[in-house]
Amino acid sequence: MQLLKLALRRETAMPVLALTFASAACVALLAARVLSTGNLRYGFLLWNLFLAWLPLGFALLASEKYHRASGQDWRFLGLAGGWLLFFPNAPYIFTDLTHLRTRYFPTFWVDLSLILLCALTGLVLGFVSLYLMQSVVERMFGRAASWLFVAGVAALSGFGIYLGRFLRFNSWDVLLKPRQLYHGIGNWAADPLANPSGVTFPLLFGAFLFITYLMLYALTHLRPAQPIVLPHKVEQPALA
């Protein structure tokens, strides 16, 4: 209930409602595909979309905890850590494009629209949560530090998505499979160039996240043009 109240506050209600509508459209499109084809090929998108909502929940709670406590405490740090841990799940859905079959497959365009809609919804969910956390960092350390924070999160997320797509780790494996995760990261660090994707993918995806966030951030700060007010012409009195 607390999370729902936070989500529907005046500051966040509009994007949350829009994202809820987009998520419902994803579910409806997936349901239509299942009914028309009779298979659940892309059913995993629902789970991935659910995971994409988690960072927003963590960010809302962390932001509220920071503003109420007027500083850092273990609860805020735990929520912020949970947000960072699950944040890569939001943009991860873009990598599900790898499941697309060729365009000669009958449902190719439906599948493409479905994945892109889910991916865009997940991306915006992540960016709303990132904006909330950036605002906290800006209050704590200043604007320059907040943008370094965004760049760092983008870089870490690029690597996190690499771990998920190529090494098949999940966010909760930090708790469930810490040893396997440690060895997986250790093997990558020992020879990152062994697999060409091990460096290029995190770098490119991290850059993609930073650039798209920057564009959307700039878009939300767009100011409408002010109308030009012309000076009134002063009527000269007529000569008698």
Q: What is the pLDDT along the chain (240 residues), one digit of tens a residue?
A: 677 788 878 888 999 999 999 999 999 999 999 999 888 889 999 999 999 999 999 999 999 988 887 556 788 899 999 999 999 999 999 999 999 877 778 889 999 999 999 999 999 999 999 999 999 999 999 999 999 999 999 999 999 999 999 988 988 888 888 889 888 888 888 888 788 788 999 999 999 999 999 999 998 877 776 666 666 555 555 554
State residue 221's pLDDT score.
78
How far is it, in rounded angstroms, from Cα 173 to Cα 190? 21
How far is it, in rounded angstroms, from Cα 214 to Cα 221? 11
State residue 68's pLDDT score.
80
Asked whether residue 14 is domain-assigned, the answer is yes
State residue 227's pLDDT score.
67
Contact in structure between 127 and 119 (CB atoms under 8 Å): no
Contact in structure between 114 and 26 (CB atoms under 8 Å): yes
How far is it, in rounded angstroms, from Cα 108 to Cα 223? 39
Residues of the domain holding 189: 8-220
State residue 91's pLDDT score.
96
Which own/partner contact pairs does 167-172 have at CB distance under 8 Å and 24+ positions apart? 171/51, 171/85, 171/86, 171/88, 171/89
State residue 8's pLDDT score.
78
Asked whether residue 228 is domain-assigned, the answer is no
CA distances, 235 to each of 110, 238, 240 (Å): 66, 9, 15
Asked whether residue 148 is domain-assigned, the answer is yes
How far is it, in rounded angstroms, from Cα 112 to Cα 124? 18
Task: Tell me the pTM.
Answer: 0.89
State residue 74's pLDDT score.
82
Looking at the 3D structure of the chain, how many domains does it have? 1
Asked whether residue 227 is domain-assigned, the answer is no
Asked whether residue 78 is domain-assigned, the answer is yes
